Amino acid sequence: MNETFERIEKGLYRRQYKTDGGCSTLYYARFTCKLKRKRRLIPLGSDLEKARKELKRIEVQNIDDFDFDSIISARSEKTHKASPFTFSEWAQKYPSFDDVKRKRSLDDDVRMIRLHLEPFFSRCLLTAIEREVICRYIDRRTAQSLIRGKKGQSSKIVSRGTVSNELSLLRHMLKVARREGYAASNPSFEGMIIRTEKKPRALTLDEQKSVLEIYPMWMARLSEFAAETCLSQGDLLRLTDHEIDIELGVIVPEGGRKKTGAEQIAPLTPRAREILEEIRAEKKSGAIILNVNGLVFTRADGRPITKNMIQTQVERAIKLGSIKKFVFHNYRATALTEWARRGYPVDVAMRAAGHTSQQVRDRYLDLQKEDIAAVFGTAQNPKSGNASGNKLKSLSEGWVSG
């Protein structure tokens, strides 16, 4: 039998249930409340002697017409937390905590739980999620193929970086459970979460022009705006008018950068202003329907643009154009590299991109040999281009060569 509930002496009952680790026991006081003339069941913990002493105290309180309702709810919650949750049960409760609700990545996290974590861990108790089980999850996921939306299963295997993102979420779910007093394991994730950072590359001027000819108008505006302002995909899709200071010519995303929370003060360049004016004019004429949430970048019917829509357009541009493989995030590298070519101060560029360290900013720079030659004037036949005639900020010394 998985669970039993029996009387062991007057007013004292014992509940026993099986777990993966063996058998658990809890004691309860069962009596009639003298004040309200109703039957009451109060949890007393797992220690028999302590339960007996607590029962005697309850009997004395009952004689004095004590109201037990207040302590029943508190003790029931404590007992509820001590009872092991399955992963599926916790997956339902996890998004309800305030700090989790505030996560910008919550929608992505919920999707990751539903599609990947829950199918594997669904019936597993939180107390039973140990390192060995997590290793089996890694083996299973890294043997699976990617699913590309409506395109279905692809030939590409799930990357180790993708699995690491899922493990980071699992670790946070267990951490929140322990923090809130729920029974959960604390496995070591050492060596399991592997970050495979790839240096972003900047798109050349020819590449940018090539993809603009392929993109639909909404995507062309998004990509140009990203290359001008260094705003991320997520911040662009969330951008509203109140985050844009037209007079000062800056954009300050609400809440700062998604990962670090650092404030970003992006420049509203002349081309970025032109794009905003084009959108405002089309909204005024009715060519673009106003979004109820005040989003700047939307579809023509006013609905939000999704990440999948952007990914589809990037893949289409790679297929139809003569451009090397890239992702939308490369537009941040494009902006930062161009700022370095123009000789903008490092501190200013970091603040404009929302970077908290020069090391992070440097990873986005994609300077080419032509840039170095342009600064030192060493080329025999200088060619016109992005780097020609520009000033270039030294990454280590902070000087400007002209």
Q: pLDDT tens, 46-65? A: 889 999 999 999 999 888 88
pLDDT digits (tens, 9 = 90+) for 112-150: 999 999 999 988 889 889 999 999 999 999 999 876 555
d(CA 116, CA 119): 6
Residue 98: name the closest of 178, 168, 176 by CA.
176
Q: How many helices (H) and strands (E) does the chain have?
A: 17, 11
Which of 341, 314, 357 has its CA nearest to residue 208?
Answer: 314
Fold designation for 205-401: hpI Integrase; Chain A (1.10.443)
Residues forming CATH 1.10.150 domain(s) in the chain: 87-179
- Identify the residue whose tokens are 């690491």: 164
- Cα-based torsion angle of the residue sequence 59, 65, 66, 69 in order, rounded to the nearest 10 degrees: 100
Whether 340 contacts 392, CB under 8 Å: yes
The span from the CA of 362 to the CA of 211, in Å, is 26
Reported as a pLDDT band with limits 50, 70 and 90, residue 323 is: confident
The CATH number, out of the four listed (3.40.50, 1.10.150, 3.40.1350, 2.40.50), of the domain defined by the range 87-179 = 1.10.150
Structure letter (DSSP) for residue 35? T
pLDDT for 273 equals 97
* Tens digits of residue pLDDT in 218-270: 999 999 999 999 999 999 999 999 999 999 999 999 988 876 778 999 999 99
Structure confidence at residue 263 (pLDDT): 92
pTM of the complete model: 0.59
Instruction: Write out the residue limits of the CATH 1.10.443.10 domain(s) in the chain.
Output: 205-401
Q: Which ranges of 230-345 would DSSP assign to H, the alpha helix? A: 233-238, 270-285, 307-320, 330-341
SS3 of residue 270 by DSSP = helix
Residue 24's identity, in one-letter code, is: S
